Amino acid sequence: MPYYVTTPIYYVNAEPHLGHAYTTIGADILARHMRQRGEEVFFLTGTDEHGEPVAQAAERAGVSPRELADRNARRFLDLMPQIDVSNDFFIRTSDERHVARVQEVMQRVHDNGYVYEGTYEGYYCPRCADFKTPSELGPGNACPIHEIVLELVTEQNWFFRLSAFEDALLRLYEERPELVMPDFRRNEALAFIRGGLQDVSLSRPKLKWGVPLPWDPGQVMYVWFDALLNYYTALSFARPGEDLTDRFWPASLHVMAKDILKFHSVYWPALLLAAGLELPERMYVHGFLLMGEKKMSKSLGNVLDPFRVIEQYGSDALRFYCFREVSFGQDGSISPAGFEARYETELANDFGNLASRVLAMVERYRDGVVPAGVEVDPALAGGEGGLGGVEVLVAGLLDRAEISRALDVCWGSVRRLNRYVEERKPWELAKDPGRARDLDAVLYNLAEGLRVVTLLLHAYVPKAADRLLGALAERSRGIAALGSRGGGQRIERIPPLFPKLG
């Protein structure tokens, strides 16, 4: 089964921040891991360029929406290699191939009878590009996310018959319990649907910056419909001269944070049903990275700049920290002090020192050759953090996008290997020529365990893992079981993987 994973497409009303990097790295970890398992993977990210959020920001900046979009899309594009993201394509919704495909799909929704003309009256947040229901409004009719007071708007526009899909969506959620993960997010989506679905405005009459409705070009499409469809349209033009839609649609997994749960778990499946298209298999809804108590957000101005963090600590450290510090799925606070602590104790000490020690001991005691002809030690394979079957455990968790839990399992193995060094004391065995076979066994098990866990960590910390696997003379980047390589290879010593900060 091919694996097609997506991130949200990000608004270009401002520059990227760590929240965007977080989701993108999460999806990247899954894409990399699936490739390691030999799956055929397509990984999509990109930018959401139409609609009020962008048009209003451009006005404030005194530039055209297209200029602002070009400028900030560039920043998102540049971010990807810096955080070591291996996306197969980067979609921009201002791309005319996307626009044409969106019009085609929406015309089908129209022709299938799910569109009508009417008057919208209610509260609209231009920053969220969201029509708020009364229960979603904060005190004083404010947007609870952006903390701006919303005005009551009345306008003539086109509607999408969302209400027609209430029963179909309830059935869908019944039949496919893993459509929205984790479970508590599925329950939120279900509660929203059970609360009753109102038809939703499908167009914006006053706005110019968007996709014109094919049947009424004087209006542009509500940006969320344009945006959601990116997951589908991208496949038709991501590879020049080739349409990947049949190969990769429906998507295996959409990754996003809880702020856009409603759009993905309610509007999106309804829109696809209305267009007669297949539905994505699953979505994973994660929490917010918080700085102190607040969600990091462009409009609240409390952002941590990923470019600066990478400069200081490297991309691996950022990738590791985000998923280690905050359990994927939950909200969690991050801080510069937290970064430093994890870097020192876990990357530099637990993992970096383990790697240095193992390489150094193989060199010192066996002239750099991993001993061959020895068995896997059951003591290392079993027990807490045991490495036997660790690859199966990690794969099972990543199948359900449990990125932090899978990392916890890997870290359990890193720590188990450190304990194994302390328990077996190779330096004492080395003093006794009668125990040469025991020393062989310990050194083999350490090198083999380090190889297995580094292959698993490759998806998280690709740069460091590549260096270490190079030193371990491991050419494959597949997932491996403890004992699947027999020894005999010549290792090399390398400078510390995660040097101590000065």
Catalytic residue ranges: 17, 20, 125, 128, 143, 146, 295, 298
Of 145 and 397, nearer to ligand ME8 (C-beta) is: 145
Shortest reach from residue 23's CB to ligand ME8, in Å = 3
Q: How far apart are CA 157 and CA 476, in angstroms?
A: 57
Regarding 145 and contact with ligand ME8 (CB under 6 A), the answer is no
- Residue 83 or 443: the one with the smaller Cβ distance to ligand ME8 is 83
3 state DSSP class of 41: strand
Q: Is 15 in the site for ligand ME8 (CB under 6 A)?
A: no
Among 19, 352, 385, 462, binds ligand ME8 (CB under 6 A): 19
Task: Please identify, using beta-carbon distances, which residue of 238 and 471 lies nearer to ligand ME8.
Answer: 238
Non-local CB neighbours of 356 within 8 Å, separated by 6+ positions: 493, 496, 497
Q: How many CB atoms lie within 10 A of CB 218?
A: 8
Strand partners of residue 283: 180, 254
Contact (CB, 8 A) for 305 and 18: yes
Q: Which residues contact 137 (CB under 8 A, 6 or more apart)?
A: 123, 143, 144, 150
State which H helix or E strand residue 332 sits in.
Answer: strand 332-333
Given 4, 23, 234, 409, the residue binding ligand ME8 (CB under 6 A): 23
Q: What is the DSSP letter of 162?
A: G
Contact residue for ligand ME8 among 115, 145, 228, 370 (CB under 6 A): 228
Decide if residue 259 touches ligand ME8 (CB under 6 A). Answer: yes
In the bound state with ligand ME8, the residue whose beta carbon lies nearer, of 200 and 471, is: 200
Judged by beta carbon, residue 260 or residue 387, the one nearer ligand ME8 is 260
Phi, psi of 85 (to 5 degrees): -90, 135
The stretch among 6-14, 67-75, 108-116, 192-200 that binds ligand ME8 (CB under 6 A) is 6-14
User: CA separation (Å) from 478 to 112, 327, 474, 481?
Assistant: 46, 26, 10, 10
What does the per-residue mask of binding to ligand ME8 show for 289-308, with x meaning CB under 6 A? Answer: x-----xxx-----------
Binding of ligand ME8 by 22 (CB under 6 A): yes
Give the integer Cα–Cα distance in Å for 219 and 350. 58
Residues 237-256 that bind ligand ME8 (CB under 6 A): 256
Q: Is 166 in the site for ligand ME8 (CB under 6 A)?
A: no
Residue number closest to ligand ME8, CB atom: 19
CA distances from 218 to 171, 210, 214, 425 (A): 37, 11, 9, 77
Q: Which positions touch ligand ME8 (CB under 6 A)?
A: 8-11, 19-20, 22-23, 48, 227-228, 230, 256-257, 259-260, 288-289, 295-297
